[in-house]
Structure 1
Amino acid sequence: MMKAYSTDENAPMDHQRAPTHMSTTILTDLSRNIAADHASIQSPGGVSASLKSLHGGRRNGVQLLDLSDGHFCVSIIPTRGMGLWKARMGDTVIGWASPVQDGPVHPSFVNQAALGGLGWLDGFDEMMVRCGLTQNGPPSPVTDPFAIGLHGVIANRPAHYLAVHELPDRLTVEGHVDETCLFGMNLRMITKITLVKDTRRIEVEDEIINMGNREADLELLYHWNFGRPFLEGGATFDAAAEEVCPRDKTAAAGIRSYDVYDEPTVGYAEQAFFFRLKSDSETSNTTVMLRNKNGDKGLALRFDTRQLPCFTLWKNTAGYDDGYVTGLEPATNYPNPKAFEKAHGRVISLPPGGRHLAVTSLEALPTAGDVERVAHEIARLRGDTKPTLHHAPVEPFAAG
């Protein structure tokens, strides 16, 4: 068993804070042959981190890193691209009940080329999973020598560097995940996932770097997924929408009720809607929210539309055991075939050494007052705008 490596340094955790004494514990650094099996870290302010390895079945060898302030907890999966498995607020679990019940699934059990390129679904059970980095939509054409399956490969790549940065009122987990291939891509994702005590909020800051000597394509989508108790019949989605476009004919049939959810419905066919959202004129920040039927609990997702200009709402109100879930998905592009996205100028081209920053944050809303506060926040962004609803797929959102 390898031990963690600790160091102290004086450095700010972000540009908004004055320099503060910071302690760093390195849990994994393959360049120095550091790989801890377990660890426990406690900040003076009461935020803790706990690393453990899972055993048995398809989760064998998966590492989980839990961040907790005693009231709010989030589980990070370094083995699966630094995704977020589930969160917990008191007795309330935030996430969804995937048909994949033996997860989190080790990437070695996920054959992404299987099922006609849909093998990614074999391991899909996270609250937040990233799609990308060179492609985030449907599988590539099989004629492509570098064909990539559904939603890309980053979610099935383990972190080769993992550290916990400790400040009095917060812990930040830093992970490095590479998407590299000889003759192909050479991208690195540096993620910093932060929990601040007593905020019920988790922030995910990702920087994607082109480590190669050639330009590289970037597509990045954050697949935030939620089920009960936030998702239920009569639950609603709220956003400052300017335009809403169905992805396909199936979604077009539901355009008039795109923002309202059904009870679990056996045989329901998934629907996806592409959005153009309003944002703050100075900061470019926007907020979207999922709230339950009674409006007394919800989830708020915030992001910068300069970093993530495209948003997709995924509705899959199928039978509960078949995966009753909705996805709130900010992204650099819409999850269309890559050729379509490139034709519409939505595939980022990173020069050698180029970087792209993306920050998202999730806030849990446990009371009606919290939900009302965020509803007012969205209403201020919306102003007098009434969204344009397209009743069929139209360009530039989707192929007509």
Structure 2
Amino acid sequence: MLVQNDNPTRAAMLARVGSLQQAAYVRPIEYQEGRAHGLRGVEVKNGPLRFMSMADRALDVAQFEYRGENLTFLSKPGLNGRNQFDTNGLEAQRSIMGGLFFTCGFENICAPYVTPEGSKYPAGDYPMHGRIRTTPAEHVSSDAYWDGGGRYVLEVSGEMREAELFGENLVLRRRISSVYGTSTVTVEDEVTNESFRSEPLMWMYHCNFGWPLLDEGAEVVIPSRKATPRDETTAADETPWNEIGAPVDNRPESVYLHDLAADGEGRSFAAVVNRKLGLGVVIEFDAADFPYFMEWKSMGSGDYVVGLEPSNSSVYGRGWHEERGDLHMIAPQATERKTVTFTVIEGEKAIDELAARRDSLLDN
């Protein structure tokens, strides 16, 4: 018997391979050309699932594939390491790669922001989506091992520090894991404020889905009680927020703020599915960890992407929260933790079950 509790048994696997790397491995790599020259990463293969965790960019997961099909968006600049565009206002768009997710924060998310004179907050100039996404990891570790429960675990971990002389000192410790025989990737994060003053902690996972998963006829599946357009441009978009059409030249982006339903345990989800391809990617999380959820829908040719964004802060950004007096803060020496999972689903039945799960949450 090869499978026990949905996972291959150790003896059964070893009987069928010379090296387990036929089926699964974790492998440090370094890119050698172009904008990505010198970029360190960790390649993880878990059977049909393959992804890259970028060690020089917060261990964010860039490329994400299932059975050879790309599932995520890669922006026009492509893969790139640190460069002069990393932390300069809107020029951050020249270094945003997309990928399965990139981490936004921690002093700012969304639009660039400069602290106005007279603010009660320390003066600062904050780039689009913050600085943590470009922070290289330290203490990087990668491993593949049989655990005590008979599971073959693939794991990447490391630490990122967002810090400034006389300023913040926030440490992100991240563990990314996947178990052979499953199609799930789990991201476990904790942020500790190692400074001696309270600090803003804006925290968003910018999850980005692209072709061929994203194509005409694909669908965004979210248990959304209400979808609020961010601005007049979005409000004028007559296409339903959950429907995906073909790319349109120079079409502007639309952004929605969703009020999500959750189950009895406080869990919620968001997904992009493609019935023609027979695949979908589901993001799951505790709704209490992410009181804000945004959908970025860009149907423009060459910028064809849907972003699903669980967040502790609004897309309206730091200034909006400062004016409201509800900017999320973390106390000195305090720690906050969040866990997000990404699961690839396959086949018509699995997609139907996901839609039924959405409907059930909305009916309660």
Question: What amino acid sits opposite 2:40 in the alignment?
Answer: Q
Aligned residue-pair number: 335
What SS does the aligned partner of 2:289 have?
Answer: coil
Alignment of 1:122-133 (within 5 A): 122-127=94-99, 128-133=101-106
Structure 1: distance between partners of 2:350 and 2:326: 35
Post-superposition shift, 1:198?
1.7
What SS does the aligned partner of 1:251 have?
Answer: helix
- 8 Å CA contact 2:86–2:134 kept in 1: the answer is no
Question: What amino acid sits opposite 2:103 in the alignment?
Answer: R
Structure 1: distance between partners of 2:337 and 2:238: 32
Aligned to 1:16: none
Structure 1: distance between partners of 2:226 and 2:202: 22
Post-superposition shift, 1:254?
2.4
Query: Structure 1 unaligned runs (5+)?
Result: 1-41, 385-400
Aligned to 1:208: 191
TM-score, normalised to structure 1, is 0.79
Aligned to 2:149: none
What SS does the aligned partner of 1:219 have?
Answer: coil
Q: Stretches of 4+ moved more than 3 A in 1?
A: 42-47, 142-145, 342-346
Alignment of 1:185-334 (within 5 A): 185-254=168-237, 257-281=240-264, 283-292=265-274, 294=276, 296-319=278-301, 322-334=302-314
What SS does the aligned partner of 2:205 have?
Answer: strand
Post-superposition shift, 1:337?
2.7
Structure 2: distance between partners of 1:184 and 1:218: 13
Question: What amino acid sits opposite 1:125 in the alignment?
Answer: M
Aligned to 1:153: 131
Aligned to 1:175: 158
Post-superposition shift, 1:164?
2.2
Question: What amino acid sits opposite 1:177 in the alignment?
Answer: M
Structure 2: distance between partners of 1:241 and 1:187: 33
Query: Structure 2 unaligned runs (5+)?
Result: 1-18, 118-122, 147-151
Structure 1: distance between partners of 2:223 and 2:200: 29
Task: For residues 247-268 of structure 1, give each alpha carbon's deviation from its aligned partner in whole angstroms, at most 9, with x where no partner exists.
Answer: 1001111266111122100011
What SS does the aligned partner of 1:79 have?
Answer: coil
Aligned to 2:348: 368
Query: Considering only aligned residues, what root-mean-square deviation do their CA atoms show, in Å?
Result: 2.0
- 8 Å CA contact 1:191–1:207 kept in 2: the answer is yes
Question: What amino acid sits opposite 1:162 in the alignment?
Answer: V
Post-superposition shift, 1:295?
7.5
- 8 Å CA contact 1:203–1:362 kept in 2: the answer is yes
Structure 1: distance between partners of 2:61 and 2:47: 18
Question: What amino acid sits opposite 1:287 in the alignment?
Answer: F
Question: What amino acid sits opposite 1:197 in the alignment?
Answer: Y
Post-superposition shift, 1:79?
0.3
